[in-house]
Structure 1
Amino acid sequence: MYTTSTAFLEALQEAGVSYIFANLGSDHPSIIESLAIAKQENKKLPTLITCPHEFVALSAAHGYAQATGEPQAVIVHVECGTQNMGGAIHNAAKSRVPVLIFAGSSPYTQENELIGGRNEFIHWIQDVFDQRGIMRGYTKYDNEIRTGANVKQLVHRALQISKSDPMGPVYLMGPREAMEEKTEPVTIRKELWEPISPAALPPQNMKELTNDLLTSKKPLIVTSYLGRNAKAVNELIRLSESLAIPVIESIPHQMNFPSSHPMNCGSYWNVDKQVDLLSDADFILVLDSDVPWVPMKNKPSDNATIYYMDVDPLKEEMPLWYIPSKHFFKVDSYTALQQINDYIEEKCVINQDMVSTRWKHYSNYHNRQKKERRNLEKALNNQITPEYLTACVRELVDENTIVLNEGITNYGVISNHIEVDIPESYYGSGAGSLGWNGGAAIGMKLAHPDKTVINLTGDGSYLFSIPSTVHWMAKRYNTPFLTVIYNNQGWKAPKHSTLGVHPYGIANQNQDFHVSFDPPAKLAEIASAAGDAHSMIVKKQSDLKNALIEGLRQVKEGRSAVIDVYIPHVYSDKNEIPTEKELIK
């Protein structure tokens, strides 16, 4: 039979979806049957990836979309499966990742009136009043499939919305009766359902913007995720080089600007001190950044002229957010930078003496930063510091490598010391629910099977990723990757947060933060048991490089590897507690 489910799966195929990351349940008989019929008839449909946990399913779709820009599909089981995606839907929403999520819903008939009616105990238990409401705070669009007559239109509309800036997840649900319904095939012209075109800068603002930029003495560019479009990176380089503008990154979760470029002046995470380039700047261009700085700790001068350009410059889904700026522009960064560069080249006179002076100054700044990083990377007393560990990982990275960063309290160390130069070679989740790293590594490996994926994660983030599911999937679907755990045997972030508010409190006096994982688990062996991954524990600096080299060799031969590296304990950093003098300052 040709059913609503058949049409639904066809629509995904027509829209260019390659994979369905699925955790199937009692609401999916029609989809399972349609997939079986398609296989028997040798009919092309998206490949179904079985995911034993919904969080990993959505994280894998998230990673695939980050690596390609193309949304994939996730299928979950009614409201229980919807809720089991948990923080992964937060991540997809906050990272503005396109993905289509489909969930069944409990049947709405119970006396055999229609095919697919209730015939199991669970169909009453899983019936809720507002299943779509579970997702509504995180999705751009939600709807219910009620008939096969227009299911293709709903799928294409949902994906059109998902792929239009600001991109994000969309949610469809369908009860068994609707999905089992016989229907007639519908022909869809895909070209009529394309996402909205990229937004450009208003021409009337170009003169004012470029005049402010060209007359500034200390301009600065701040970005976090401009590199989601690789072409925007080249335009950013073009602007930076033409005017000698330094670039700094705030919590970068893309490769936005080459680390080796003389105008790259580093990145920062939750820094506890003022960044001098930010406070000195008289003109700041913010490009694609949700949190360009944390005002309580680190902010620009009150006299700085700020321009804000972003696909979502007002952060409309953030209840508390404001950064006073001279202008906010809702634009595509690649398009806007191209406009600015062309306008400057064609219509503006550049003070080359000032540019030359700036270039020398910020090149020296860049070189000093690099020297400071190298000093921090030196091995001390056979102890493995996060800086040393990242430097050792950096030796494994080549032009064919993708690096994932979910190091959390070591996020800034990784982003500064990994030193990537190639667009689309570095990613963070862009959000706040931990555990993205494992599923994302699978998604990125599916997207780029020829690339080497290196996943850098804290021990807490590793546990949140549901490694048993991740590594079972990695083995089954031949997506090997290298995981390096920055294992400080606990959650350091809550300790940092407590010290930030109560630096001289009782928790600090007693070193009682409730964040240690002692006694430590054998984290790498989880991956070994679930997915036959190569596993190693490294506690000595002298063993580290050989362990990493062996792990990478295993991955290149088709087997995942997890290297569990012990760095200083979560309770070992006495020097992170500020003195009273430092606190007053």
Structure 2
Amino acid sequence: MSHSYTTSTAFLEALQEAGVSYLFSNLGSDHPGIIESLAAAKQEGKPLPKVITCPHEMVALSIAHSYAQVTGEPQAVLVHVECGTQNLGGALHNAYKGRVPVLIFAGASPYTQEGELPGSRNEFIHWIQDVPDQRGIVRGYMKYDNEIRTGANVKQLVHRALQISKSQPKGPVYLMGPREVMEEETEPAAVQADKWKPVSPAAMPPEEVDKVVHVLKTAENPVVVTSYLGKNTEAVKELVQFSETYAVPVIESVSNYMNFPADHPMHCGYQWNEPSQHELLEKADVVLVFDSDVPWIPTKNKPSDTSTIYYFDEEPLKESMPLWYVSAEEMYQVDAKTALSQLNKRLIESGIDEGVIAKRWERITRYHQQLCKERDEKEVYQENVITPEYLTACIREAIDDDTIVVNEGISNFDTIYRHLQRTKPGSIIGSGGGSLGWNGGASLGVKLSAKDKKVVNLTGDGSYMFSVPSTVHWMSRKYDLPFLTVIYNNRGWKSPKLSTLGVHPQGTAYQTDNYWVDFEPHADLAGIAQASGGAFAKTVKDPKDVKEALKEAMAAVEEGRSAVLDVYLPAIKEEEKSQKHTYVHGL
């Protein structure tokens, strides 16, 4: 049986030619052309990207998000008209803010209703789902959006969209196509995929390299701050060389990756929302910021007014953030790996004062050792309570360096980085955004992209519920993608309470203990995964059971079954007094 060659066929061919491996799909009445072309290709043995059925769009985009983080290659997400587009929800924000390449395709309601063209309206929903500006729903979160109007140039549109998506700063792109267009017969067209490469990474002007090196050589207390430099594992190597060559301490601010080995003597801690000033940042005379949207929070923690700041980023102006500024001496629109390799080369050529470097190395090493001591003290086992620090230390013992950790711990986000002590580039990732629920789909995406690796998902109870765990664990079983989830369960939304105390430390909410954030009655969170995906499920409330539960869960994952440990930390109400004290003291 012969099948007509349509826009849908050309669209799918373009994705295949561009190196897209998967279509994370939530299909609808706007996709008959796509479905028919996929069926024909399967019948003919023609290679096209593999369809992964995703019962929820948030999960679909989160899978594509983390897959691109691990591999660097964008995948495609297919959703249903404006309803599916809107149901992508916060995953759009995460992909855009996290600078993750992905192509999103949505159909559109047919634009004819009398049968004038193939694909014309034949279901009541086609009138209801017809909206004035479907692309406008996502425009604020896309690097590029366009409508497919003909099959004659659909391949060029796909390749252009992916070229933009993969060029720095990377990000999501959106295409839509009405049914009539996607059903339209067209002629096969050849497009040279190698002519649509992403733009080459940007470098520093030579004279600026000399300027920064000169300032560094006269600095007494230089500091590096970074958040997502580790998205490129090669950049981590350059940062390590830079730090070692000139004994420059590194601070990670709101980390989204393993940016610098945690056990390195120049690693000087993590910062997030805590209301405390970082000593080294305050004393720094030169601060180099590489790849960071929020290098510090000025109301809590910042460099001194006399510090000289150099800012290196793919998009240093942050044009998508209406309020954003850093008082930098110079701002460079550069690729971090490229800029660091330039600085490293020039520093070595210009000569190093070994005496100065040795003294700074010794001083910073002592600071690092003190941080390690304080970390170890917080990990001590307690008989009556499972602290997040102890839990994280147990997880650290249970995994190896090759395990990939997905972190959406939110109120324990910083604790997870601080106590996991990851040292291998690519071994831990965050969403890069602020919309919760990324963790479940992200774990599937990581496992799909690295099937030989163990994947561990660390999440709060709130972010676990946001992740649509029923969909996540159904997909885990269907596609044989086992991973371990550990829920840091304080039975509520801790972060809104902390935000309230940060602004009103002795306000009415504090006085009356009213925050409206507790999750009572408590849900059987692990049971959700067991019911929907056959996962190993266990709730852990006693500290003495933590290590054994982790051992059982890891064994289940190794046998090919996902596992969920719902670990009870001190509940929000139980922490009330200590948190009040912390925030009053901090302010």
Amino acid at match of 2:201: P
Q: 2:543 aligns with which of 541, 551, 565?
A: 541
Q: Which whole-Å CA distance do the structure 2 matches of 1:510 and 1:256 have between them?
A: 42
Deviation, 1:582, is 2.9
Q: Which whole-Å CA distance do the structure 1 matches of 2:586 and 2:43 have between them?
A: 70
Q: Which residue of 2 aligns with 1:294?
A: 297
Q: 1:353 aligns with which of 348, 352, 355?
A: 355
Deviation, 1:48, is 0.5
Amino acid at match of 2:71: T
1:523 correspondence with 2:544: no
What's the TM-score, normalizing by structure 2? 0.98
Q: Which residue of 2 aligns with 1:461?
A: 463
Q: Which residue of 2 aligns with 1:197?
A: 200
Contact 2:163 2:196 in 1 (8 A): yes
Q: Which whole-Å CA distance do the structure 2 matches of 1:382 and 1:164 have between them?
A: 52
Q: 1:126 aligns with which of 115, 122, 129?
A: 129
User: Which stretch shifts more, 391-400 or 82-91?
Assistant: 391-400
Contact 2:505 2:583 in 1 (8 A): no
Deviation, 1:207, is 1.4
Q: Which residue of 2 aligns with 1:146?
A: 149
Q: Which whole-Å CA distance do the structure 1 matches of 2:508 and 2:122 have between them?
A: 58
Deviations 1:446-482 (A, max 9, x none): 1000000000000000000000000001110111000
Q: 2:256 aligns with which of 253, 257, 262?
A: 253
Q: Which residue of 1 aligns with 2:219?
A: 216
Deviations 1:50-99 (A, max 9, x none): 00000000000001011111100000000000000000000000001000
Distance 1:320 1:209, change over 3 A: same
Distance 1:292 1:474, change over 3 A: same
Q: Which residue of 2 aligns with 1:113?
A: 116
Contact 2:23 2:76 in 1 (8 A): yes
Q: Which whole-Å CA distance do the structure 2 matches of 1:219 and 1:489 have between them?
A: 42
Q: Which residue of 2 aligns with 1:513?
A: 515
Q: Which whole-Å CA distance do the structure 2 matches of 1:504 and 1:466 have between them?
A: 36
Amino acid at match of 1:248: I
Contact 2:401 2:422 in 1 (8 A): no
Contact 1:110 1:117 in 2 (8 A): yes
Deviation, 1:400, is 2.2
Amino acid at match of 1:505: G
Q: Which residue of 2 aligns with 1:381?
A: 383
Q: Which residue of 2 aligns with 1:30?
A: 33
1:416 correspondence with 2:418: yes
Q: Which whole-Å CA distance do the structure 2 matches of 1:407 and 1:421 have between them?
A: 19
Deviations 1:412-470 (A, max 9, x none): 10010001111111001111000000000001101000000000000000000000000
- 1:137 aligns to what SS in structure 2? helix
Q: Which residue of 2 aligns with 1:480?
A: 482
Q: Which whole-Å CA distance do the structure 2 matches of 1:399 and 1:580 have between them?
A: 35
Q: Which whole-Å CA distance do the structure 1 matches of 2:40 and 2:384 have between them?
A: 60
Q: Which residue of 1 aligns with 2:179?
A: 176
Q: Which whole-Å CA distance do the structure 1 matches of 2:38 and 2:528 have between them?
A: 32
Q: 2:87 aligns with which of 84, 87, 100?
A: 84
Contact 1:98 1:162 in 2 (8 A): yes
Q: Which residue of 2 aligns with 1:6?
A: 9
Contact 1:382 1:542 in 2 (8 A): no
Deviations 1:113-145 (A, max 9, x none): 000000000000000000000000000000000
Length, aligned pairs only: 583
Contact 1:309 1:331 in 2 (8 A): yes
Q: Which whole-Å CA distance do the structure 2 matches of 1:580 and 1:440 have between them?
A: 33
Q: 1:439 aligns with which of 434, 438, 441?
A: 441
Q: 1:370 aligns with which of 369, 372, 380?
A: 372
Distance 1:582 1:193, change over 3 A: same
Deviation, 1:580, is 9.5
- 2:19 aligns to what SS in structure 1? coil
Q: Which whole-Å CA distance do the structure 2 matches of 1:459 and 1:122 have between them?
A: 36
- 1:10 aligns to what SS in structure 2? helix
1:283 correspondence with 2:277: no
Q: Which residue of 2 aligns with 1:341?
A: 344
Q: Which whole-Å CA distance do the structure 2 matches of 1:457 and 1:500 have between them?
A: 23
Q: Which whole-Å CA distance do the structure 1 matches of 2:220 and 2:527 have between them?
A: 55
Deviations 1:220-277 (A, max 9, x none): 0000000111111010000000010000100101111001111011111101111111
Q: Which whole-Å CA distance do the structure 1 matches of 2:36 and 2:204 have between them?
A: 50
Deviation, 1:577, is 1.3
Q: Which residue of 1 aligns with 2:333?
A: 330
Distance 1:327 1:92, change over 3 A: same
Q: Which whole-Å CA distance do the structure 1 matches of 2:384 and 2:392 have between them?
A: 15
Contact 2:224 2:250 in 1 (8 A): yes
Identify unmatched segments of 5+ residues in structure 2. none
Q: Which residue of 1 aligns with 2:69?
A: 66
Contact 1:538 1:544 in 2 (8 A): yes
Distance 1:355 1:40, change over 3 A: same
Q: Which whole-Å CA distance do the structure 1 matches of 2:279 and 2:131 have between them?
A: 54
Deviations 1:164-222 (A, max 9, x none): 00100000000000000001111111111000000000112111110111110000000
Q: Which whole-Å CA distance do the structure 2 matches of 1:579 and 1:289 have between them?
A: 27
Contact 2:505 2:584 in 1 (8 A): no
User: Which stretch shifts more, 211-220 or 395-404?
Assistant: 395-404
- Deviating beyond 4 angstroms after TM superposition, the runs of 4 or more aligned structure 1 residues are none
**Identity between Structure 1 and Structure 2 (%):** 62
